[in-house]
């Protein structure tokens, strides 16, 4: 078990460390990346650490003018919407992200037997930030490009997939022992559109990552109707949000695919009795799955009490040790 966003704003030690350091500066400083990655591992008995970084870091590393604004998220100064702008997106090289290689290498030796999970954004989600210029509810400009100019769309997906692969390769080369592709916002697409416009690129990503011989997790939010396709892309594990019970999800994915998830992060804001009951229900639903990684259905909410996360970690470990 581990938690998406186990590092970050729910932890007072994170808030104080980050107080005077902008998000992207913190992500480019190996000392801060290491400390923030280790904070939740010290607090909780989680089975894995997740690298502290952000899905937009590789985009900044290839020269895109972007920032992560407090209370908003990633903001791109000049959104990419024209074929010419797409054609200028270059491949990511390991030399663009020396701080990742350094932080991962040092983390892996400090973490000892606790595995470090590396991650990258999936191509649809990265495209959405680039095209919309920031967080978006409906991803309408992104979908408009996808519907109106499939050649430019495919070129964009090809370039972003290359960046995703390069970012993950760098992390695995430095010692990360599993990877998660966060294509968080693909749930905005119908199954037919996902199949046509994203799946070929997701397949390419997982095929390329296959040679790295580390477990590969594929995650998105609101993907109940897409679980079969996320699995068809070829990961070892599909991450499921809280909308679909794990026993149902197990029927939607390919054989021999493990599942990750899927307690609703908002449950952690309810009294402990509710957390306990819901966590037990997730474990019961996971029984028919072929391998289960306990996690939330999405990231830990900033207002979550870390003591509840600690208690949940103990509960899951006690229950699964039986």
Does 270 show up as a binding residue in the annotation? no
Phi, psi of 239 (to 5 degrees): -85, 135
Rounded CA-CA distance 170/168 in Å is 5
3-class secondary structure, 117? strand
Give the residue numbers marked as catalytic. Answer: 5, 9, 18, 54, 129
Nearest residue to 33 via CA among 115, 152, 116: 116
- 52 is a contact residue toward ligand 1CP (CB under 6 A): yes
- Residue 280 labeled ligand binder: no
Residue 39, class by beta-carbon neighbours within 10 Å (0-12 exposed, 13-18 middle, 19+ buried)?
buried
Alpha helices (H) along 44-134: 57-61, 83-87, 98-111, 123-132
In the bound state with ligand 1CP, the residue whose beta carbon lies nearer, of 244 and 271, is: 244
Stretch that binds ligand 1CP, among 5-13, 142-150, 197-205, 274-282 (CB under 6 A): 5-13
Centre a 10 Å sphere on the Cβ of residue 38 and count the other Cβ atoms it contains.
Answer: 17
Of the pair 201, 219, the CB lying nearest ligand 1CP is at 219
Examine residue 186 and tell whether it contacts ligand 1CP (CB under 6 A).
no
Q: What is the DSSP letter of 238?
A: E
Among 79, 83, 105, 135, binds ligand 1CP (CB under 6 A): 135
Task: Check whether 9 is labelled as a binding-site residue.
Answer: yes
161 is in an annotated binding site: no
Looking at the chain, the number of H-run helices and the number of E-run strands are: 15, 9
**Is 141 among the annotated ligand-binding positions?**
no
* Binds ligand 1CP (CB under 6 A): choice among 10, 39, 41, 54: 54
- Going by the annotation, the residues of the binding site are 5-9, 54, 129, 184, 298
Binding site for ligand 1CP (CB under 6 A): 4-9, 18, 23, 50, 52, 54-55, 68, 70, 73-74, 119, 125, 135, 182, 184, 299
* Binding site per annotation, positions for substrate: 5-9, 54, 129, 184, 298
């Amino acid at each position: 078990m581990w938690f998406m966003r186990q590092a970050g704003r729910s932890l007072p030690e994170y808030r104080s460390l980050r107080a005077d350091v902008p998000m992207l500066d913190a992500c480019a400083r190996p000392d801060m990346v290491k400390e923030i990655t280790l904070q939740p591992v010290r607090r909780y008995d989680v089975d894995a650490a997740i690298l502290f970084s952000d899905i937009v870091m590789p985009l900044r590393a290839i020269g895109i003018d972007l920032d992560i604004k407090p209370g908003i998220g990633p903001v791109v100064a000049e959104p990419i919407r024209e074929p010419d702008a797409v054609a200028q997106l270059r491949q990511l090289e390991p030399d663009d992200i020396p701080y990742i290689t350094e932080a991962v290498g040092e983390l892996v030796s400090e973490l000892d037997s606790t595995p470090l999970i590396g991650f990258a954004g999936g191509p649809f989600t990265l495209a959405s930030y680039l095209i919309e210029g920031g967080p978006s509810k409906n991803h309408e400009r992104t979908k408009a490009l996808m519907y109106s100019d499939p050649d430019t769309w495919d070129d964009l997906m090809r370039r972003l997939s290359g960046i995703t692969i390069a970012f993950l390769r760098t992390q695995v080369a430095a010692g990360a022992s599993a990877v998660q592709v966060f294509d968080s916002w693909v749930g905005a697409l119908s199954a037919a559109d996902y199949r046509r416009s994203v799946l070929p690129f997701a397949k390419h990503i997982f095929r390329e990552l296959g040679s790295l011989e580390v477990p590969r997790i594929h995650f998105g939010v609101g993907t109940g109707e897409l679980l079969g396709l996320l699995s068809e892309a070829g990961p070892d594990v599909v991450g499921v949000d809280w909308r679909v019970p794990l026993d149902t999800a197990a029927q939607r994915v390919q054989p021999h695919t493990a599942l990750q998830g899927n307690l609703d992060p908002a449950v952690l804001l309810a009294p402990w009795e509710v957390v306990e009951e819901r966590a037990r229900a997730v474990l019961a639903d996971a029984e028919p799955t072929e391998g289960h990684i306990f996690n939330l259905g999405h990231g830990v909410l900033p207002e979550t009490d870390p003591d509840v996360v600690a208690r949940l970690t103990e509960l899951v470990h006690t229950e699964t040790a039986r």
